Amino acid sequence: MSTRPATASARSVEEHRGRVEQLLRPLAVRDIEDAGMGEALGRRLAEDVRAPVDLPVFRNSGMDGYAVRAESVSVTPVTLPLAGVVAAGQPGQAPLPDGAAVKVMTGAPIPPGADCVVPVEDTRAGDGTVTVERGRTAGDFVREPGTDVRAGDLLVRAGTLLAPRHIAALAAVGLPALPVFRRVRAAVLTTGDELVPAGETLRPGQIYNSNGIALGAALAANGVEVVSVEHSRDDPAEFRGALARAAGSADVVFTSGGVSKGDFEVVKDVLAGAGGEFGAVAVQPGGPQGLSVVDGVPVLSFPGNPVSTMVSFEVFARPILRELGGLPPVAKDDVALLDSVRSPAGRRQFLRGRLAEDGVALVSGPGSHLIAAMAHADVLIDIPSEVTELAAGSIVKVWEL
């Protein structure tokens, strides 16, 4: 673990997050677009939607059984002549003759004149007849039109985050598409000469580019539309070109890598020269952070270590992105530590933890390269900056991942 003290000029997590939020809050989108029903899950409904039709659409049977008049089965057992059979999907407009029964399937129209359905379980079929063993009262197993929702009534309210249950109701009234708010559009730009995309064979010194994919996933999971994921070598001209494309296509750009104190810090070199704020935040992991505006578009620059990138996203970007997308805030909880913890003085530390019944356990050490271990975590453990040691059993704040 690094024990470097925070530099005197380091911003606090709250300060830096405040700056990020100040830059991103104006991105609140009010534009409305249509989403097909297959793409509507997780989107936010932009307008009240009223039912264009009644549900049920027509009077139909709630059971496989026999449509009758209740008065015909008031004394049982009773044998009635069978006047017909109606399957689901048939128009079923022939009226029920007096004193007769019509066999109906679930969802089939109820013949005019019938007022209840006797479930098939309570009957015995004869030759052109049916014997009803148990009587029913008017209305039994008859689904009347409009008893679920009436045409013109409010079905789902504007602002609703569309879950499967909302989509089920909206699909049931036959809507082909829904008005939803456009999502914030983000571009991801990774940097590093050592990085290669999945599918290529690693040569000595190379690693796979995981931050591009990971940031794309993190953004998508938080209500953001990812318009591009690009990579640039540690070459200022190449980076400038990629950055201009990213800023030209998105509301916000996320970069990874190139912001530390090494010799080839392309992101910092290009953006600090163009007015970006680059410096240390009193946090571990994710200390070096950058914040810039390129062609009017905010650019958040995260350090490249994979855990640093993910934690930077969780701590600085995710809260405001969820707010912009109308998503519920990240869940936080107070739980008992199952392990003892050491933490650097003057830096807020976010450790990876896994919740158990009786508390939270560490999944790895604090190293910001331990991305495989992070897959086992379900929370970040938030250790305040003034704390240097915590015994097992201490209560800590955890942020749900």
- One-letter amino acid for residue 231 of the chain: H
Q: Quick check: 312 binds ligand AMP (CB under 6 A)?
A: no
Query: Nearest distance from residue 194's CB to Mg ion, in Å?
Result: 7
Nearer to ligand AMP, 115 or 314 (CB): 314
Residues 189-208 within binding reach of ligand AMP (CB under 6 A): 190, 192, 194-195, 207
- Residue from 223, 257, 286, 325 touching Mg ion (CB under 5 A): that is 257
Output b/e per residue, 347-373; b: 16+ Cβ within 10 A.
bbbbbbbbbeeebbbbbbebebebbee
Q: For residue 212, which of 233, 226, 229, 224 has the smallest C-alpha distance?
A: 229
Using the contact rule CB under 5 A, the part of the chain among 9-17, 118-126, 254-262, 325-333 near Mg ion is 254-262
Cβ proximity of 352 and 308 under 8 Å:
no
Relative to beta strand 332-336, strand 395-400 is antiparallel
Cβ proximity of 284 and 348 under 8 Å:
yes
Query: Nearest distance from residue 258's CB to ligand AMP, in Å?
Result: 5
**Residue 337: partners with Cβ closer than 8 Å, 6 or more residues away:** 359, 360, 381, 390, 391, 392, 393, 394, 395, 396
Q: Quick check: 223 binds ligand AMP (CB under 6 A)?
A: no
- Residue from 61, 123, 305, 385 touching ligand AMP (CB under 6 A): that is 305
3-class SS of residue 334: strand
Nearer to ligand AMP, 372 or 391 (CB): 372
Q: For residue 305, which of 187, 190, 222 has the smallest C-alpha distance?
A: 190
Output b/e per residue, 13-33; b: 16+ Cβ within 10 A.
beebbebbeebbeebebeeee
Q: Rounded to an integer, what distance in angstroms lies between the CA atom of residue 99 and that of residue 80?
A: 7
> How many residues make contact with ligand AMP (CB under 6 A)?
18
Nearer to ligand AMP, 28 or 207 (CB): 207
Contacted by 79, from Mg ion, ligand AMP, none: CB < 5 to 8 Å by type: none
Q: Quick check: 303 binds Mg ion (CB under 5 A)?
A: no
Query: Nearest distance from residue 315's CB to ligand AMP, in Å?
Result: 16
Q: Quick check: 290 binds Mg ion (CB under 5 A)?
A: no
> How many residues make contact with Mg ion (CB under 5 A)?
4
CA angle in degrees (0–180, nearest 5) for 22-23-29: 100
How many residues are given for the chain? 401
Q: Is 240 exposed, middle or buried (0-12, 13-18, 19+ CB in 10 A)?
A: middle
Q: Rounded to an integer, what distance in angstroms lies between the CA atom of residue 314 and that of residue 215?
A: 10
Nearer to ligand AMP, 292 or 305 (CB): 305
Contacted by 260, from Mg ion, ligand AMP, none: CB < 5 to 8 Å by type: ligand AMP
Using the contact rule CB under 6 A, the part of the chain among 144-152, 164-172, 254-262, 384-392 near ligand AMP is 254-262
- Residue from 192, 276, 303, 344 touching Mg ion (CB under 5 A): that is 192
Nearer to ligand AMP, 68 or 307 (CB): 307
Binding mask 4-43 for Mg ion (x = CB under 5 A): ----------------------------------------
CA angle in degrees (0–180, nearest 5) for 40-45-46: 130
Using the contact rule CB under 5 A, the part of the chain among 39-47, 121-129, 255-263, 316-324 near Mg ion is 255-263
Contacted by 232, from Mg ion, ligand AMP, none: CB < 5 to 8 Å by type: none
Nearer to ligand AMP, 72 or 308 (CB): 308
Query: Nearest distance from residue 3's CB to Mg ion, in Å?
Result: 24
- Alpha carbon separation from 200 to 75, 203, 306 (Å, rounded): 80, 9, 19
Q: Quick check: 306 binds Mg ion (CB under 5 A)?
A: no
Cβ proximity of 230 and 187 under 8 Å:
yes
Residues forming the site for ligand AMP (CB under 6 A): 190, 192, 194-195, 207, 209-212, 256-258, 260, 262, 303-306
